[in-house]
Structure 1
Amino acid sequence: MKKGILLVNLGSPDSPEPKDVKKYLGEFLMDERVIDVPLWARNLLVKGIILNTRPKASAAAYKKIWWEEGSPLIVLSERLQNKLQKQVEQPVALAMRYGSMTIKKGLQELVDKGVEEVLLFPLYPQFAMATTETIIVLAEEIQQEYFPNLNIESVPAFYNKPDYIEVLSNSIKRHLQGKNYEHLLFSYHGVPERHIRKSDITKSHCKIDGSCCATASKAHEFCYRHQCKEVTRLVGEKLKLEEGSFSTSFQSRLGFDPWLQPYTDRTIERLGKQGIKNMAIVTPAFVSDCLETLEEIAMEGEEIFHEVGGKYFTTVPCLNDDDEWVALLSKWVKKWATSESILA
């Protein structure tokens, strides 16, 4: 069977104009795995409130980070796709969960090239309902409806794989070389606490009480909070970071329900008020720089830090199309192509 790879990232508006941002936000926020409330409530919240207030502000944020070539997330994902294609024999397609670069189009591109078996690669190191799960579920629905003869295998979360931790650690070390930072903050995209409990396959382990993430459990296979904390721990060990010189936080909360804590903006503020003058921040929930890293962290985060007395604020880029990262993806794809366990 001819094999192919479909890389899937989050997505982006077609332009930073309010009408395109509104369309994108509508699709994104109406996903039942992003805002997991009953349809009537989601309609009321998204279509009745958010889409009447947020697109203009979001469009302004997108305009701050938009590149001449287009959306940074799309451009960087395409660079990754092109580099990977040069290292593997199998066709590599790119799709987005939201926006005009649909998963259906990506699968169709591969099918048109004679592909019968697809490696679906959600570009997220950690598993979450609102990222990996929604990609896999939609891909399965599309496959059943439009491509019944196509076989799809999904890449599991790779947050704790030694070769991934090595690539991530090397990238952090390289970008912080010569920077005498006092604190390294690992900022991950936030999710509501209820997502953690919903993803708990044991239905009893996840209590978000400070101890469950460190206690062995089958729940960790799908626990976003545990997986984020584990990335921080493993990178801390790899880079031999001193205890107290690094920490974990979560960004991008929405609404009034409790989200994973501590919050990134408040953590940056607290560190500055505690006298930290030189801090660095890395965002390992993303493999490609995007609005959340380029605007929310690199711009808003730095502004918060300076307002409370901080002086030097360094952001570590995502892996993007880093050559080591591309080489690792190539290694995994070649394993899959020869029927080996991809992440073994």
Structure 2
Amino acid sequence: MKGVLLVNLGSPDSTKVEDVKKYLDEFLMDERVIDVPWILRAFIVKGIILRTRPKKSAEAYRKIWWDEGSPLIVLSRRLREKVEELVSVPVALAMRYGNPSLEAGLKELYDKGVTEVLLIPLYPQFAMATTETILVLAEKLRKKLFPDMRFTTLPAFYNHPDYIRVLSVSIQETLQNKDWEHLLFSYHGVPERHIRKSDITKSHCKIDGQCCNTPSPAHQFCYRHQCYETTKQVAAYLGLKEGMYSTSFQSRLGKDPWLQPFTDKTVAGLAENGTKKMAIVTPAFVSDCLETLEEIGMEAREDFLEKGGDEFHVVPCINDRDDWVKVLARWMDEWAKEEELLATN
């Protein structure tokens, strides 16, 4: 029997400091998020970050928390429920960190008799700190608890025509009655070393302004290339001209080199250089979350207005849009039919 597991990042169980601390501990102690030896990672996370950050993060979560709970969890559940209505196979939801856990999601499918699972990491672009860590943990759980299961993984869909269309239409609909001069595509940042570690050629990714535009097998797992390609294809779909849009990266941590340009500096720079009306979209996120609602919708907006801007328009994530639901359902059905054909041959 076939089934689908949607996997998103995760969220604390509540805005209580102890719940936020527990979530951050699990998240930041992941060796693919802070990729340094365990001793050093434990010193950084448990000895430094978890002493102060949980309280600050809890305050940020309180600003965006909904009556139903964490926006990311609520939106992910809505997506799962809508998709399951359109497909003939069971669909479960899991989070890489927090609840519902990846183990719980797999068990839900297992208890329904599912032995063939389509894993769908809800990240358009591949990164070792997102897609890769999901697949590694899923395989670990499969070997330990669900040895009869077989996994298929939906590839990164950063350039899939269906995704590009849904994202582009969402931008059009949000901005159709608004004046704007510049559209910023803001992606979650990662350390530059993550790009080099994901380079399967071990030589292509130099982050020099040229490598992302030079065809290479490395692009299959290059987060930076995939972000810029998403921007490029959406800009083409919308007919945007050079100068009307740009790409940046948000949410850096620590002092190591991270992907640039930085979103906060880009937003401030646009305002300081005379842009009065800007729009911003966050295509690395399928579901609205702390990074989109608070960091962009509140902090970036405030910075832009303080630096002289007049209007700051935020494009919501594609969340549980009906056109996105239909796309996901079609991908699931295509996989299920393909598996059936393979089984009969």
- Scaled to the shorter chain, the TM-score interval is over 0.9
1:111-151 per-residue CA deviation (whole Å, 9 max, x = no partner) reads: 11111100010000000000000000000000000000011
Q: Matches of 2:327 and 2:90 in 1, distance apart? A: 17
SS in 1 for 2:105: helix
Q: Matches of 1:216 and 1:179 in 2, distance apart? A: 37
The residue number in structure 1 matching 2:198 is 199
Q: Matches of 1:60 and 1:263 in 2, distance apart? A: 23
Please identify, of 151-160 and 186-195, the stretch whose mean Cα deviation from structure 2 is larger: 151-160
The residue number in structure 1 matching 2:156 is 157
Establish whether residue 319 from structure 1 lines up as the match of residue 318 from structure 2.
Answer: yes
The residue number in structure 1 matching 2:217 is 218
Q: Matches of 1:159 and 1:204 in 2, distance apart? A: 23
1:242: Cα distance to partner?
1.2
The residue number in structure 2 matching 1:300 is 299
Letter in 2 for 1:25: L
Letter in 2 for 1:306: L
Aligned pairs for 1:139-178 (under 5 A) are 139-178=138-177
The residue number in structure 2 matching 1:129 is 128
1:178: Cα distance to partner?
1.4
**What runs of 5+ residues in structure 2 fail to find an aligned partner?**
341-345
Q: Matches of 1:340 and 1:229 in 2, distance apart? A: 33
Please identify, of 22-31 and 161-170, the stretch whose mean Cα deviation from structure 2 is larger: 161-170
The residue number in structure 2 matching 1:227 is 226
1:100: Cα distance to partner?
2.5
Please identify, of 157-166 and 195-204, the stretch whose mean Cα deviation from structure 2 is larger: 157-166
SS in 1 for 2:86: coil
Q: Matches of 1:231 and 1:150 in 2, distance apart? A: 33
Q: Matches of 2:98 and 2:227 in 1, distance apart? A: 26
1:177-196 per-residue CA deviation (whole Å, 9 max, x = no partner) reads: 11110000000000000000
Q: Matches of 1:72 and 1:152 in 2, distance apart? A: 28
The residue number in structure 1 matching 2:15 is 16
Report the RMSD for the aligned CA atoms in angstroms: 0.9
Q: Matches of 2:14 and 2:53 in 1, distance apart? A: 16
Letter in 1 for 2:224: R
Q: Matches of 1:167 and 1:61 in 2, distance apart? A: 29
Establish whether residue 7 from structure 1 lines up as the match of residue 6 from structure 2.
Answer: yes
SS in 1 for 2:152: strand
Establish whether residue 62 from structure 1 lines up as the match of residue 61 from structure 2.
Answer: yes
SS in 2 for 1:310: coil
The residue number in structure 1 matching 2:343 is none
After TM superposition, the score normalised by the length of structure 2 is: 0.98
The residue number in structure 2 matching 1:186 is 185
SS in 2 for 1:191: coil
Letter in 2 for 1:333: M
1:37-93 per-residue CA deviation (whole Å, 9 max, x = no partner) reads: 011100000000000010000000000000000000000000000000100010000
Q: Matches of 2:74 and 2:100 in 1, distance apart? A: 12
Equivalent pairs, count = 340
Establish whether residue 34 from structure 1 lines up as the match of residue 45 from structure 2.
Answer: no
Q: Matches of 1:143 and 1:215 in 2, distance apart? A: 37
Letter in 1 for 2:14: S
1:5-40 per-residue CA deviation (whole Å, 9 max, x = no partner) reads: 000000000001100000000000000000000111
1:289-324 per-residue CA deviation (whole Å, 9 max, x = no partner) reads: 000000000000000001100010000000000000
The residue number in structure 2 matching 1:240 is 239
Letter in 1 for 2:193: R
Q: Matches of 1:234 and 1:8 in 2, distance apart? A: 25
Q: Matches of 2:339 and 2:212 in 1, distance apart? A: 30
Establish whether residue 113 from structure 1 lines up as the match of residue 132 from structure 2.
Answer: no
SS in 2 for 1:67: coil
Q: Matches of 1:139 and 1:172 in 2, distance apart? A: 33
The residue number in structure 2 matching 1:86 is 85
Q: Matches of 2:339 and 2:218 in 1, distance apart? A: 26
Aligned pairs for 1:41-56 (under 5 A) are 41-56=40-55
Letter in 1 for 2:309: G
Q: Matches of 2:130 and 2:241 in 1, distance apart? A: 32
Q: Matches of 1:167 and 1:67 in 2, distance apart? A: 25
After TM superposition, the runs of 4+ consecutive aligned structure 1 residues lying more than 2 A away are none
Q: Matches of 2:122 and 2:99 in 1, distance apart? A: 18
The residue number in structure 1 matching 2:254 is 255
Identical residues among aligned pairs (%): 68
1:340: Cα distance to partner?
6.7
SS in 2 for 1:120: strand
1:146-174 per-residue CA deviation (whole Å, 9 max, x = no partner) reads: 00001111111010111111111111111
Letter in 1 for 2:189: G
